[in-house]
Structure 1
Amino acid sequence: MASKPSIPKGTRDFSPTEVAKRHYIIQIIKNNFEKFGFQPIETPSFENSETLMGKYGEEGDRLIFKILNSGDYLAKANATHLENKDSTKLTASISEKALRYDLTVPFARYVVQHQNEIEFPFKRYQIQPVWRADRPQKGRFREFFQCDADVVGSKSLWQEVELVQLYDTVFSALGLEGVTIKINNRKILSGIADVIGASDKLIDFTVALDKLDKIGEDGVKKEMMEKGISAAAILKVQPLFHFTGTISEKISQLSVLLAESEEGMKGVEELRFICDNVMKLGLSNSTLDLDVTLARGLNYYTGAIFEVAPPKAVAMGSIGGGGRYDDLTGIFGLKNMSGVGVSFGLDRIYLVIEELNLFPETVTATSKALFINYGDAEAFYGLQAIQKLRAAGIKVELYPDNAKVAKQFQHADKRGIPFAVIAGEQEIASDTFVLKNLISGEQRTVDFESLKQDLLRS
């Protein structure tokens, strides 16, 4: 007996209902990307290995799916590496391509490769799948979609202001209230490390600080000391452990704390500009919050850092994030190309909307009516009407087989189709149809125009 087929761990099949809900989210994100002036691009699902490798650190490189060369891939393999079972060196000779790990590095490659065709500043969005050889767990998959929007070729902080508005606009359109858009600045984190004399331990300091809400003040202090940060340095950042107040009050506190750091004060001024203008312009359903513990992408971001938290009613990690980077394309030789971008976490957004029951019923609506099949003559009569109903934008379909009527009604019920259209010899002779409401059981005889209007209204 053949074994039951399966799919690789970390991948998923999506039912018609799930696909409809995902498309609903994607369409809202896409529409708003375009309202904000972002243009769509697409890049190949796989890149040359040299494009991807070395761009994500040692851990990231390990998670990249490599593609074996076609044909006899061992023919050109290095015999010594093969004999020594040196997988790292062997891979380079048997795999020249790899599935993309994210959309950012392919975007950087795209900008460099097409720089003479692009009008800068260039606002691009990209909604495509990516692959990571990660350990599958709840909310983490090996194949998933990223929804990114970036602006390259401009250092203007108005871009950050607009990206905050973009987040707010998308989540408002999705009906998500109570979303918190957290903001920080890489320069502020550098400034704090500088002020306390721990510039050489910036990563250790910020990684520990980022855990404040998880392990508490004592836990953070303990971890910092274990990393070699002195008690005197920790005392200087004591205010950060109780960092409360309005955004303006937080910025004032940072101005005092970072007064002796030029880098830190640059970050303060950037934050002040972004936050002041966002607050003046206003947000619909989201809250902007300055979070000095936010420390994502330290080896990547150079200015503003964003992270989006879902409504507090849902226990879920961040549903979006991004930031400013000053040298995205430098990895491919094009220097001084500053950019800023944000990403929407499609899978987590889906789970949040599902948990809060915010998907409109129309998202998963199936056909409005099923035409019952009594035979070829009746099917042809029905398809003539179906053709005109579809032209009017109405979803209708014909049951393909001349099966028992009970079976056809049962099919409509299982599909959630609310109406059946019955047309036998008598209806064909009188050029009419019987429209039956499968929920109430009510039915009536109508001409085509009445049939169309009834289905449009339902």
Structure 2
Amino acid sequence: MASVNAPRGMRDFLPADKARRERVLAVIRERYRAHGFDEIETPVVEEYARLHAGIGGDNEKLAFNILRRGLDAEAVRAAADDQSALTDLGLRYDLTVPLARFYATNRGELPGVFRSIQIAPVWRAERPQKGRYRQFMQCDIDIIGDASARAEAELITASLDTLAALSLEGATVRINDRRALDGMLDVFGFAPQERPGVLITIDKLDKIGPSGVTAELRERGATPDAVDAFEQFLNRPQTLEALPYGEAQIRKALPEGVSHEVVTHLVGIGDSVAAARGGEVPLLFDPFLVRGMGYYTGTIFELAHPSVSYSLGGGGRYDGMIGRFLGQEVPAVGFSIGFERIVDLVALDDAGAAPSVVLVHDKDVPVAELLSLKAQLIAEGSRVRLEQRPKNMKALLERAEADGYTAFASVRAGTTRDALELKPLG
């Protein structure tokens, strides 16, 4: 007999949990729209070739693929060593690849600079563990068609504003640029072909420290002189003064020789964010921020909050992706809030919620009377549930409160709206 449990790495949500999630999503949608973004929807499946075009990084290995229809046993055996011959579609593993396809398909009907919202589930064949699921929500905003620092600044301010609306004030954004990373590795002398592996190791700096990083680079067989130069840079004498985000901080954090254009772009983002936030610049330049997605071409960022040690979101610029579908370069940058990570951190205020009432009625109350009372309360703006009076009233009221109801009333035959006495739950 089949298990009654949800598939591993996927979850059922009870009514109260679902209601909470929808309320948080409603705040996110409202804030994104307030910043001028428009919501779109794309299919949950995309073509296999698109999902495995080399633009999804390691996530391509985690795609759930859909078996081609009509394959007989002989065809399956013949294609056993060729996954693309077995499958023609797959579940989306992120919302960025579908967005790139969406823009390429619909660009003639979109504005020159397109600001999109995508809030939808994605699927990855992860190894299930605490906080890591095979199906989860992503909340993405993207700007397509703007190569200037304004695009990054708009995304950052919209994301910080959204967290503040969820009472998660005090968030900061760690920021870097893949071009700065490439320039730094070039200055140190790492060969182009070894840089992907070098970046994987550098990404562990917070976990294993400078000595661990340089030791792993030597184990990898990275260019010895380049490792020596990098080690010297990591261990250079540094003054202790804390500089605000800006050119001085960025220059201090990078070796000599990194492109001035990249630094200017990063400074421009900070200036724009400061203008939007009344002079506040909640940004921190981190020259060793990597982010694993292979499609990033410029700015990359991660969202941090003092209440947790892990990132609450992130994103970056991926100017090369849409060009794969169109044959021409189109600038694009996106930011994603980690919904599954923030939903449990949010303390929602129920003060503005609509009243919700359970009408507990006797068995002999005519259905017409019950539905009339219910209709009147709904017309007043309430959410209403009908429940026949049980022997155990306590259990019923506890369940109603857990489901988000705030009041109840007893209904007997002949009870009118004016005679209805609403009592608070809890």
- Which TM class, normalised by the smaller chain length? 0.7 to 0.9
Aligned with 1:433: secondary structure?
A: coil
Q: Distance in 2 between matches of 1:322 and 1:62?
A: 20
Rounded to whole Å, the distance in 2 between the matches of 1:318 and 1:241 is 29
The alpha-carbon deviation at position 295 of structure 1 amounts to: 0.7
Q: 1: CA distance between counterparts of 2:374 and 2:360?
A: 8
Q: 1:187 to 1:236 in 2, by over 3 A?
A: farther
- Distance in 1 between the 2:384 and 2:131 partners? 36
Q: How far has the Cα of 1:140 moved from its partner?
A: 1.2
Aligned position for 2:229: 233
Structure 2 contact 156–273 (Cα < 8 Å) conserved:
yes
Letter in 1 for 2:33: E
CA distance 1:4–1:77, change in 2 (3 Å): closer
1:413 and 2:398 correspond? yes
Q: CA deviation at 1:33?
A: 1.4
> Helix, strand or coil for the counterpart of 1:359?
coil
Deviation at 1:306, TM superposition (A): 0.7
Check if 1:388 corresponds to 2:388. Answer: no
Alignment of 1:191-230 (within 5 A): 191-200=183-192, 201-227=194-220, 228-229=222-223, 230=225
Looking at CA atoms only, which structure, 1 or 2, has the larger radius of gyration?
A: 1
**Which residue number in structure 1 is paired with residue 90 of structure 2?**
98
Q: Is the 8 A contact 1:77 1:93 kept in 2?
A: no
Change (3 A) 1:414 1:284: farther
Of 278, 290, 310, 2:285 maps to: 290
Q: Does 2:294 align with 1:309? A: no
Per-residue Cα deviation, 1:30-59 (whole angstroms, up to 9, x for no partner): 111111111111111112212212334684
- In the alignment, which residue of structure 2 is the partner of 1:375? 364
Alignment-derived partner of residue 13 in structure 1: 12
The answer as to 2:25 corresponding to 1:26 is yes
The structure-2 alpha-carbon separation of the partners of 1:352 and 1:8, relative to structure 1 and needing over 3 Å to count, comes to: same
Distance 2:130 2:278 in 1: 32
Q: CA separation in 1, counterparts of 2:102 and 2:239? A: 41
SS at match of 1:435: coil
Q: Hey, what does 1:451 align to over in structure 2?
A: none
Flag the 1:286–1:366 CA change in 2: closer, same or farther, 3 A: farther
Q: Match of 2:361, as an amino acid?
A: I
The 1:397–1:186 alpha-carbon spacing in structure 2 relative to 1, beyond 3 Å, is same
Percent identity for Structure 1 against Structure 2 = 32
Q: What is the CA-CA distance between 1:240 and the residue it aligns to? A: 7.4
Which residue is 1:118 aligned to? 110
Partners of 2:355 and 2:382 within 8 A in 1: no
Shift of 1:329: 1.0
Which residue of structure 2 aligns with residue 397 of structure 1? 385
Map residues 41-440 of structure 1 onto 2, 5 A cutoff. Answer: 41-56=40-55, 59-70=58-69, 72-74=70-72, 77=75, 80-81=78-79, 85-86=80-81, 89=82, 91-200=83-192, 201-227=194-220, 228-229=222-223, 230=225, 231-238=227-234, 245-246=242-243, 247-248=245-246, 249-254=248-253, 257-258=255-256, 260-261=257-258, 264-282=259-277, 287-297=282-292, 299-311=294-306, 313-315=307-309, 317-353=310-346, 358-361=347-350, 367-377=356-366, 379-399=367-387, 401=388, 403-404=389-390, 406-407=391-392, 410-416=395-401, 417-425=405-413, 427=415, 432-435=418-421, 437=423
The 8 Å contact of residues 315 and 336 in structure 2, kept in 1 or not, is answered as yes
**Which residue type is aligned with residue 408 of structure 2?**
A
* SS at structure 1 position matched to 2:29: helix
Question: Structure 1 421/215 Cα, relative in aligned 2: closer, same or farther at 3 Å?
Answer: same
After TM superposition, give the deviation of residue 202 of structure 1 in Å: 2.8
Does the CA-based 8 Å contact 2:354-2:382 persist in structure 1? no
C-alpha displacement at 1:192, in angstroms?
0.8
2:330 partner SS? coil
* Corresponding residue of 1:444: none
Deviations 1:328-386 (A, max 9, x none): 21222332101111011110112333xxxx23346998833424234243x43243222
Structure 1 residues 268 and 350: CA distance shift in structure 2, 3 A: same
* Displacement after TM superposition at 1:105 (Å): 1.0
Deviates more, 1:150-159 or 1:51-60: 51-60
Counterpart Cα distance in 2 of 1:171 and 1:243: 33
Total equivalences in the alignment: 416
Q: Could you tell me how far apart the structure 2 residues matched to 1:134 and 1:159 are?
A: 32
Quick one: distance in 1 between partners of 2:312 and 2:127? 20
Distance change >3 Å, CA 392–CA 107, structure 1 → 2 = same
Residue 127 to residue 420, structure 1, CA distance change in 2 (3 Å) = closer
Asked if the contact 1:123–1:150 (Cα under 8 Å) also holds between the matched residues in 2, the reply is: yes
Higher relative contact order (CA 8 A, sep 6+): 2
Task: Decide whether the 8 Å contact of 1:371 with 1:382 is kept in 2.
Answer: no
Pairwise CA distance, 1:397: 2.6
Deviations 1:241-286 (A, max 9, x none): 969732233223157x33x34xx32211111111133234337998
Kindly tell me: are residues 394 and 211 of structure 1, through their superposed partners in 2, closer, same or farther at Cα, counting changes over 3 Å? same
Question: Alpha-carbon deviations, 1:136-190, whole Å to 9, x = none?
Answer: 1111111111111111112121111111111110010010133221111111111
Write the distance in 2 (CA, Å) between the matches of 1:241 and 1:322.
32
Q: Structure 1 residues 302, 278: CA separation in 2 closer, same or farther (over 3 Å shift)?
A: same
Q: Is the 2:142–2:155 Cα contact (8 Å) retained in structure 1?
A: no
> Judging changes above 3 Å, is the alpha-carbon distance between structure 1 residues 154 and 412 closer, same or farther for their aligned structure 2 residues?
same
Cα distance in 2 for residues equivalent to 1:426 and 1:333: 69
**SS state of the match for residue 295, structure 2?**
coil
**Distance in 1 between residues matched to 2:74 and 2:115, nearest whole Å:** 42
Are the structure 2 counterparts of residues 198 and 277 from structure 1 closer, same or farther at C-alpha, using a change threshold of 3 Å? same
Contact 1:210 1:293 in 2 (8 A): yes
Which letter does structure 2 place at the counterpart of 1:414?
R
Q: Whole-Å Cα distance in 2 between the matches of residues 241 and 301 of structure 1? A: 31
